[in-house]
Amino acid sequence: MRIIAAKTEKEVGLKAAELIAAQVTTKPDSVLGLATGSSPLTTYAQLAAWYESGDLDFSLVTSVNLDEYVGLPGTHEQSYRYFMNTNLFSKINIDPARTNVPSGTAKDLQAECRRYDQLIEDLGGIDLQLLGIGPNGHIGFNEPDDRFHKGTHIVTLTERTRQANARFFSSIDEVPTHAITMGIKPIMNAKQVVLIAIGKGKAQALCDMIQGPITPACPASILQLHRHCTVVADEEALSLLKRCSGAA
C-alpha cells in the first residue's frame, strides 16, 4: 500500500486527480469507480478544471458509482446521482449514458443489486476505483459487520454514519436509514484503488485500515490485500499512524 502525504485538502485533491488523469490519459475508455461525499470534491473540481483547459477528455470514459440512498430519486438534492451530476458530470464531456449509479428507488432492490453487479462484470471490471473512508472504516456504504459482503447489497446505515451525513440534510430524521452499495468484490477486483482521507475525523479509521487487523469490523482494512492501493491523505488524517514508510 502506497501512502501519499499532503499538507492541505486542496493538495490531497490535486494528487488524487493526478492519478485519475493519468489513468484516463493512458486508457481513454477507462472504467472509473467514483465516490461521493465531501472527500472527493476538490478532486472533481481539479478534473473539471483540466477538462476546461483542454488537458483531459472524458468522452470515452464509463463511470460506476459506489452507492446510493434507498428511497431518494436521482432528482433529489441529496441523492448521489444528483451529487455526481452537479459536481462532476455536468462539468466534463462524459457521455451521460455512460454514467452509472445504482437506483435507490427500484421496485425490486434485490434485482437492482444483481443488475449492478452484472453491469460491472459486463464492463470488464473497474480500472480505477476512487474511495473515501468513513469514521467507522466504511468504504462505499459497506458498514462494519461480521463478514465482508461480496456483491452489491442493501445495507442498514449505522447511527454513526447517519449522524455524519446529517449535515447535508435539514435534520437527521431526513437522513435515509438504508442504502444500496457496491460490495467488496468489485472494489478488490479494481485494477487500481485510490483512497482519500482528510481531517482528524478520519485518523482513527485510517490507522485501523492500514495498521490494524484485516476484519469486517473495519471494512477498509481489506485494502491491505489489494495489489495496487494508494492512500492520499492530509497530515491530520495520518496523525495516528506509527509510521508511513511508503509516504511520498
Catalytic residues: 67, 136, 138, 143
Gap between the Cα atoms of 10 and 70, Å rounded: 31
3-state secondary structure of 227: coil
Cα distance between residue 44 and residue 189, in whole Å: 23
Q: In what order do the strands lie in the sheet with 229-234?
A: 2-6, 229-234, 192-197, 128-131, 31-34, 62-65, 99-100
Phi, psi of 217 (to 5 degrees): -70, -20
User: Do 169 and 175 form a contact (C-beta atoms < 8 A)?
Assistant: yes
Q: How far apart are CA 233 and CA 225, in angstroms?
A: 19
Helix, strand, or coil (residue 2): strand
**Which of 38, 19, 27, 6 minimizes the C-alpha distance to 201?**
38
Query: C-alpha angle 183/188/193, rounded to 5°?
Result: 110
Non-local (6+) Cβ contacts of 76 within 8 A are 82
The residue written with cell numbers 501512502 in the block is 3
